[in-house]
């Protein structure tokens, strides 16, 4: 698999209010500069507001999530706060179904936190008597999107202000996009294996155990029907990348790369690289310093395996997308 620089913006869905459009219930917005001024450098946004789309209007009376009772499995509905007879649960889910064909081409989705329609997690839920019960809800539209696109990278607007969360989301979107560009359809086992091989060390940096489990799955690649294989591997890859890369696991991955290059380095070069990786392990040097030196030595290796590693490609932080002020 050949590493290619990003030459186009990737389509990503987004809650319309985050773009600065006044579509909220109070005719306001939740403009996110991180999205419109930073992430727009590599994302082509597809803005949607499900509440406006189902005809609630602007401004409008607010809605909230209501549990039928306090039991864990009780049904949750999106009901009007002022008019409790207003139930928009089915319309919100139906709208997700309606736009699903349009969203087949998006490679990520950014949703508005705390929203009864779009919140991914932690949305306040109420009992029919109006008393708040917990903050364990998911917005109705967001929940349906999860069901329709289980592997699609999703994140909330507010969380993207955190540079580590933002970098992780970018990594997932880039990988999801690369899967459809490289593996595509129909799914071919050879392409799936090449994709995993190119991402192997990046995956190890995110979760060693799960990456090894995926490697074992691919060792029996002939046991699965091609499309089933594709869905399974994509699911595993997106799950692994959803775990933030730890310093310990990333150090392990860097040491694997070092092992491939050691035969092409002299004693002083090997010692310098070892010191730099250890400095990163201790938090004394950034990972970009190690990657820069590894790339400097990379042309010495004749092996395609190490040249294909996405771990050594430009990371989001190096694209200037993780230091927004």
Instruction: Say if residue 107's pLDDT is above 90.
Output: yes
Q: What is the largest CA-CA distance in the chain?
A: 76
Instruction: Say if residue 135's pLDDT is above 60.
Output: yes
The pLDDT, as a whole number, for residue 318 is 54
Instruction: Say if residue 5's pLDDT is above 70.
Output: no
How many whole angstroms separate alpha carbon 287 and alpha carbon 139? Answer: 37
Q: Which of 47-51, 189-193, 231-235, 291-295 is most confident? A: 47-51
The pLDDT, as a whole number, for residue 315 is 57
Would you kindly state where each structural domain of the chain is located, as residue ranges? 10-161, 182-325
State the chain's mean pLDDT as an integer.
Answer: 92
For the segment 7-50, what is each residue's pLDDT rounded down to a tens digit? 688 999 999 999 999 999 999 999 999 999 999 989 999 999 99
Instruction: Say if residue 144's pLDDT is above 50.
Output: yes
Rg (CA), the chain: 22
The pLDDT, as a whole number, for residue 325 is 39
CB atoms within 10 A of CB 200: 20
For the segment 243-273, what is each residue's pLDDT rounded down to a tens digit? 999 999 999 999 999 999 999 999 999 999 9
Backbone angles phi, psi at 154, to 5 degrees: -130, 145
Q: With H, G, I as helix, E, B as strand and everything else as coil, classify residue 190.
A: helix
Residue 105 pLDDT level (bands cut at 50, 70, 90): very high
Instruction: Say if residue 57's pLDDT is above 70.
Output: yes
For the segment 61-70, what is each residue's pLDDT rounded down to a tens digit? 999 999 999 8
Tokens of 15: 């809650």
CA angle, 321 then 144 then 234, to 5°: 55
Q: Give me the residue label for tokens 């889910």.
A: 93
DSSP class of residue 78?
A: E
């Amino acid at each position: 698999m050949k590493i290619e620089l990003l030459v186009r913006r990737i389509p990503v869905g987004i809650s319309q209010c985050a773009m600065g459009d006044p579509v909220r219930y109070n005719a306001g917005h939740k403009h996110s500069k991180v999205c419109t001024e930073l992430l727009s450098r590599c994302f082509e946004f597809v803005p949607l507001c499900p509440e406006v789309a189902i005809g609630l209007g602007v401004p409008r009376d607010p809605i909230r999530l209501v549990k039928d009772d306090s039991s864990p499995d009780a049904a949750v509905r999106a009901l009007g706060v002022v008019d409790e007879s207003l139930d928009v649960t089915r319309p919100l889910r139906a709208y997700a179904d309606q736009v699903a064909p349009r969203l087949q081409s998006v490679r990520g989705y950014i949703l508005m936190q705390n929203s009864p329609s779009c919140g991914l997690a932690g949305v306040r839920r109420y009992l029919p008597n109006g008393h708040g019960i917990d903050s364990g809800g998911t917005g109705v539209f967001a929940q349906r999107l999860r069901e329709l696109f289980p592997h699609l990278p999703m994140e909330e607007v507010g969380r993207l202000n955190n540079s580590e969360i933002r970098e992780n989301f970018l990594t997932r979107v880039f990988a999801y996009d690369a899967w459809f560009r490289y593996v595509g359809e129909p799914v071919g086992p050879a392409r799936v294996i090449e994709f995993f091989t190119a991402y192997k060390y990046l995956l190890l940096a995110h979760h060693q155990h799960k990456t090894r489990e995926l490697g074992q799955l691919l060792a029996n690649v002939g046991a699965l029907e091609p499309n089933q294989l594709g869905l399974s591997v994509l699911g595993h890859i997106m799950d692994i990348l959803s775990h933030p890369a730890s310093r310990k696991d990333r150090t392990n991955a860097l040491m694997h790369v070092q092992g491939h290059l050691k035969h092409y380095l002299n004693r002083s070069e090997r010692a310098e690289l070892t010191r730099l990786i250890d400095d990163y392990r201790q938090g004394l040097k950034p990972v970009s310093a190690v990657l820069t030196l590894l790339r400097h030595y990379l042309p010495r290796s004749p092996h395609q395996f190490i040249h294909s590693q996405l771990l050594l490609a430009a990371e989001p932080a190096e694209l200037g997308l993780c230091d927004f002020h």
